[in-house]
Amino acid sequence: MTVKAYFDGSGRSDDPNVDCVALAGYVATEETWGDFERSFSTFRQEYGVDYSHASDLEARQGAYCNLSIEKSAVVRAGLMDLLRQFAKRDFSAVLYSVSMSDYRQVNRKLPTPEAICGSGALDDLCQAVPSEHELQVFYDRGERFFPRLQNIWTSPKRRAADPRLDRINVFGAVDDWRKYPAIQAADLLAWCFGRGPMFRMDLALLTAGLACYGKDYGRADLETLPLPLPFYGAAGMKL
């Protein structure tokens, strides 16, 4: 059986205006993703959209510049309803975030928030997916959470030193997120997670009934974060 995980991120740690950096994704079997893509195609036709992008939809910009506030809310609600239907399937969620205000106050040298989230997500996947299943991980091209981890994964020396890396059969960036409904689903999850309390109800609806993995890192968690990080080793300490 092939299990595929698709991730997207929200926020950049080098932006002083960002309060939270978040990484989120969905995990499911190849068969379930096929069913999701067919359902997503129906969603696109029903709501008259070519793709879903949460921040643009909320701001009614880009492809959604002609939508009313009500219509944009209806489109987002439609995608949420679609995702909730898959809670009864072999669907899981992985959610990691780092509070940037807390991160900046911690008096110890830490890996980047992107490294903390990305390393934790991969560690959860390797522990949660049974070893007899093929595990594939995909993320949006240009995403800051996974490129360095992908480089570590491709290193024969690092793979020999860490058996967990061999749990991942495919690790790569997609060429265009608009082609991948699973990335668009992850985008909505990451966006709701990264927006904080104002979207906690939406996040609760998206994750209701799902097996969820991850962590929301505040100051206490960061001060006691075990180092080195999984998948990074000593190299993860360099900012």
CATH number at 210 reads: 3.30.420.10
236 part of a folded domain: no
239 part of a folded domain: no
Consecutive 10-residue averages of pLDDT for the chain (239 residues): 95 92 96 95 92 89 88 90 87 95 93 95 92 94 91 88 86 94 95 81 88 95 92 48
Predicted pLDDT of residue 199: 75
* Structural domains counted in the chain: 1
Beta bridge partners of 4: 28, 136
Predicted pLDDT of residue 107: 87
**Rounded distance between C-alpha atoms, residue 79 and residue 82, angstroms:** 5
130 part of a folded domain: yes
**Rounded distance between C-alpha atoms, residue 32 and residue 57, angstroms:** 26
This prediction has a pTM of 0.92
146 part of a folded domain: yes
185 part of a folded domain: yes
Contacts 24+ apart (CB under 8 A), 75-81: 75/47, 75/49, 76/52, 76/188, 78/43, 78/46, 78/47, 79/43, 79/52, 79/184, 79/185, 79/188, 80/188, 80/202, 80/205, 80/206
161 part of a folded domain: yes
Range of the domain at 139: 2-231
